[in-house]
Amino acid sequence: MSLIALSAGFLPLLDSVLLVLAREKGFAAAEGLDLHLVKETSWANIRDRAALGHFDFAQMLAPMPIAATLGLNPLSVPMITPMMLGLGNNGVTVSAALWARLADAGAPATLAAGPVGAALKQVVASSEQKLRFGVVHQTSSHNYELRYWLMASGIVPERDIEIVVLPPPLLPEALGSGGIDGYCVGEPWNTVGVKNAGAHIATVKAAIWRSSPDKVIGMRAHWAEANSEIVAGLIRAVHHAAVWCGESTNHQEIAAIMAAPHYLGLPAEQILPALNGQLDIGGGVAASVPEHFVPYAGAANFPWTSHAAWFYSQMVRWGEVEHTADRARAAAMTFRPDVYRSALTPLGVPMPLADSKVEGLLAAPTEVPSTSGTLVIGPDGFFDGVQFDPDEVEAYIAAQRAA
Amino acid sequence: MPVQDLAILVIDENRIRASIIEDGLREAGHARVTVVNEINEVARVIERDMPDVVVIDLENPNRDRLEHFFTLSRALKKPIAMFVDRSDASAIEAAVEAGVSAYVVDGLKKERVKPILDMAVSRFNAFARLTRELEQARSELEDRKVIDQAKAILLRTRGLSEADAYKLLRKTAMNQNRRIVDIAQSLVTADSLLGPEE
């Protein structure tokens, strides 16, 4: 049987791992797919080449397909997200100098978002120069989470600090040279910052917004519709990769695969910590963060429309788009739980019956109604305890505007 | 204003390619061309020159950073739109194939900017061809060196003439369905392992 060739773009980040494993461990081939992975140098290239159809699909920042659907980019074509590439995987890393000031202001080396944010507020207030933070893209979960964390800590991004955009592999170096004071990026670039630039991981995505997504599979809506069987095969292949990636006994092998020059091009020991959540957060402090990167458990691949709605609310918050009810609906519908469910139903995988959830409702792991078997998800939600109800987007936006 | 009065910014870390583009633009009569090789200068140059058109190579890892500058810049009246006209699919395709991207101030007419993009595309392609040819010439030279070394080994150890040594290499390569240079490389490696210690 000849395989169907599929081309996909990715950036050198840990959460490209599910695509890599789908190829390297034969999960794609088992679905009749020959997966070609193309390492790209910028999210802009991923966006443009996916829009043009050079890539059938791509690893994307979760808000990217939403921005495309809303026509926020020049080459915009409607995109869909049929699957998430896991939960977590981000961190906020700061320079040794900034960490020393944070520690003086009472920041604990525990990654706790609240206390570290409170210390940062003090440091920002006493700084003569604006602190400068790097993110990888404006339309990224990193940018929105960093800003959420700052705002909830009493720091107004535009007024109190400066946010710049830099590609992930260049962030640790920029931190080391003093060009920036901190950054929010996906792994392994937090770990690399600690190892190579003497940096400290101040907090992580899992502490700012528990059980939240970072990267997704994005593809043109028309292509997905015309190739629904291929899309279903791809979802199954990545699902098997996600299950396999979630087994801790496979982590050593995964780190070795990802270390190859055509994937991350980094020593395996700098990749492993993010995989198993055993982080060196700097200054010899070890932290265990089991939720740091979740490839499969807790419906980690399920495209909740409420996640899309939250990203949309932040696009409005930061002035990237004007809110209308139609846009809110279009944004939420970019994530496609129906496509995900129909691909995996034949496998009998437990999947949520609901398409969306209120972020911050689950304080503990909770069993939820599922397509089959038992499904436990959560806890979820934001560190400041504010809930996000996807049915009340307008009120949420208004409350954030007033803050 | 005439087309030639447009301010054009070329961002390329490859200095040679950047100057090839710059020459092309100047030959076409554009006087207001700025070339930036170092991304850290870009924000300052944008504020100073207020470019109408920005050309950047697609390999550049700083495209995301550049687009962020555009959204922050007060010098540029509107965020810059990519490419000349999104309805012109073939032009976009040609540009991406060539590895170049262009940003254009919103509102500029397509016919004013199209020649600039076409020129950038053809110069990018010419540069790629040049690099490929250079690479090929270099690797041919390397191959020839290895084959000469292998011939010398055969001359020394088997007493073959130079012509016979080459024939033997070629015959072995054909029999094993490999390239002559690979056979030669194996021989050179084996000789260095088995040969007398220096």
For chain B, domains (ranges, CATH) are: 3-132 (3.40.50), 136-194 (1.10.10.10)
Tell if the CB–CB gap between A138 and B82 is shorter than 8 Å.
Answer: no
CATH at residue A244 = 3.40.190.10
Tell if the CB–CB gap between A44 and B101 is shorter than 8 Å.
Answer: yes
Which chain B residue has the Cα nearest residue A169?
A: B61
Q: Is A260 on the interface with B (CB under 8 A)?
A: no
Q: Is residue A116 a part of any domain in this protein? A: yes
Tell if the CB–CB gap between A44 and B81 is shorter than 8 Å.
Answer: no
Q: pLDDT tens digits for A23-51?
A: 999 999 999 999 999 999 999 999 989 99
Sequence-distant (≥ 6) Cβ neighbours of residue A172 within 8 angstroms:
A189, A192, A193, A196, A197, A199
Q: Which residues of B touch A43 (CB under 8 A)?
A: 64
Tell if the CB–CB gap between A52 and B93 is shorter than 8 Å.
Answer: yes
Q: Please, is A374 exposed, middle or buried when counting C-beta atoms within 10 Å of its C-beta (0-12, 13-18, 19+)? A: exposed
A306 and A255 co-located in one domain = yes
Q: pLDDT tens digits for A302-344?
A: 999 999 999 999 999 999 999 999 999 999 999 999 999 999 9
Q: Is residue A161 a part of any domain in this protein? A: yes
Q: Is residue A269 a part of any domain in this protein? A: no
Select from A7, A11, A45 the residue whose CB has the most chain B CBs within 10 Å, as the one to mutate to test that interface. A45
pLDDT at B107 over 80: no
A174 and A66 co-located in one domain = no
For residue A356, the distance in angstroms to the closest alpha carbon of chain B comes to: 31
Tell if the CB–CB gap between B82 and A73 is shorter than 8 Å.
Answer: yes
pLDDT at B105 over 80: no
Q: Is A36 on the interface with B (CB under 8 A)?
A: no
- Looking at the partner chain, which of A54, A136, A169 has a beta carbon nearest the beta carbon of B64? A136
Which residues are bridge partners to B100 per DSSP? Answer: B57
How many domains is chain A partitioned into structurally? 3
B71, B72, B75, B80: CA torsion to nearest 10: -10
Q: Which residues of A touch B86 (CB under 8 A)?
A: 74-75
For residue B58, the distance in angstroms to the closest alpha carbon of chain A comes to: 7
pLDDT at A67 over 60: yes
- Looking at the partner chain, which of A54, A138, A167 has a beta carbon nearest the beta carbon of B61? A167
A322 and A386 co-located in one domain = no
Angstrom distance (rounded) from CA A339 to CA A400 = 32
pLDDT at A384 over 50: yes
- Looking at the partner chain, which of A44, A52, A138 has a beta carbon nearest the beta carbon of B63? A44
A75 and A105 co-located in one domain = no
A236 and A160 co-located in one domain = no
Angstrom distance (rounded) from CA B28 to CA B18 = 15
Whole-number pLDDT of residue A1: 65
A76 and A217 co-located in one domain = yes
Rounded mean pLDDT, A100-124 = 97
Whole-number pLDDT of residue B198: 47
Spatial contact of B9 and B46, defined as CB atoms under 8 Å apart: yes
A95 and A80 co-located in one domain = no
- Looking at the partner chain, which of B64, B83, B96 has a beta carbon nearest the beta carbon of A165? B64
Query: Any idea which of A10-19, A174-183, A228-237, B130-139 has the lowest mean pLDDT?
Result: B130-139
Q: Is residue A273 a part of any domain in this protein? A: no
Query: Any idea which of A121-125, A364-368, B55-59 has the lowest mean pLDDT?
Result: B55-59
Which chain A residue has the Cα nearest residue B82?
A: A74
Q: Is residue A282 a part of any domain in this protein? A: no
Q: pLDDT tens digits for B78-87?
A: 556 565 555 6
Whole-number pLDDT of residue B175: 92
Angstrom distance (rounded) from CA A185 to CA A204 = 10
3-state SS, chain A, equals CCCEEEEEEECCCHHHHHHHHHHHCCHHHHCCEEEEEEECCCHHHHHHHHHHCCCCEEEEECCHHHHHHCCCCCCCCCEEEEEECCEECEEEEECHHHHHHHHHCCCCCCCCHHHHHHHHHHHHHHCCCCEEEEECCCCCHHHHHHHHHHHHCCCCHHHHEEEEECCHHHHHHHHHCCCCCEEEEECCHHHHHHHHHCCEEEEEHHHHEECCECEEEEEEHHHHHHCHHHHHHHHHHHHHHHHHHCCHHHHHHHHHHHCCCCCCCCCHHHCHHHHHCEEECCCCCEEECCCCEECCCCCCCCCCHHHHHHHHHHHHHCCCCCCCHHHHHHHHCCECHHHHHHHHHHHCCCCECCCCCCECCCCCCEECCECCCCCEECCCEECCCCCECHHHHHHHHHHHHHC
Tell if the CB–CB gap between A45 and B86 is shorter than 8 Å.
Answer: no
Angstrom distance (rounded) from CA A196 to CA A175 = 10
For residue A41, the distance in angstroms to the closest alpha carbon of chain B comes to: 5
Q: Is A167 on the interface with B (CB under 8 A)?
A: yes
pLDDT at B43 over 50: yes
Select from A13, A41, A189 the residue whose CB has the most chain B CBs within 10 Å, as the one to mutate to test that interface. A41
Tell if the CB–CB gap between B67 and A44 is shorter than 8 Å.
Answer: yes
Q: pLDDT tens digits for A352-361?
A: 999 999 999 9
Sequence-distant (≥ 6) Cβ neighbours of residue A341 within 8 angstroms:
A351, A371
Whole-number pLDDT of residue B155: 93
With an 8 Å Cβ cutoff, the interface of chain B facing chain A consists of: 58-65, 67-68, 71, 81-83, 86, 92-93, 96, 101
**CB interface of A with B, residues 61-90, below 8 Å:** 73-75
Which chain B residue has the Cα nearest residue A165?
A: B65
Which of A16, A6, A30, A11 is closest to A237 using CA atoms? A30
A166 and A32 co-located in one domain = no
Tell if the CB–CB gap between B64 and A75 is shorter than 8 Å.
Answer: no
Sequence-distant (≥ 6) Cβ neighbours of residue B192 within 8 angstroms:
none
A170 and A50 co-located in one domain = no
Residue type, A55: F
Angstrom distance (rounded) from CA B198 to CA B193 = 11
* pTM as predicted: 0.88
Whole-number pLDDT of residue B118: 85
Residue type, A242: A
Asked whether the bond before A188 is cis by omega within 30 degrees of 0, the reply is: yes
Q: Is residue A283 a part of any domain in this protein? A: no
A186 and A321 co-located in one domain = no
A171 and A258 co-located in one domain = no
Q: Is A39 on the interface with B (CB under 8 A)?
A: no
Rounded mean pLDDT, A133-159 = 96
Sequence-distant (≥ 6) Cβ neighbours of residue B194 within 8 angstroms:
none
CB pairs under 8 A between A and B: 56
Average pLDDT, rounded, for chain A: 96
Spatial contact of A385 and A210, defined as CB atoms under 8 Å apart: no
- Work out whether the CA dihedral B152, B153, B157, B161 comes out positive or negative: negative
pLDDT at A390 over 70: yes
3-state SS, chain B, equals CCHHHCCEEEECCCHHHHHHHHHHHHHCCCCCEEEECCHHHHHHHHHHHCCCEEEEECCCCCHHHHHHHHHHCCCCCCCCEECCCCCCHHHHHHHHHHCEEEEECCCCCHHHHHHHHHHHHHHHHHHHHHHHHHHHHHHHHHHHHHHHHHHHHHHHHHCCCHHHHHHHHHHHHHHHCCCHHHHHHHHHHHHHHHCCCC
A254 and A372 co-located in one domain = no
Structure tokens at A382: 């934001």
Tell if the CB–CB gap between A165 and B59 is shorter than 8 Å.
Answer: no
Q: Is residue A271 a part of any domain in this protein? A: no
Q: Which domain holds residue A106?
A: 90-210
Which chain A residue has the Cα nearest residue B57?
A: A45
Structure tokens at A202: 């101040």
Place of tokens 């409005």: A316
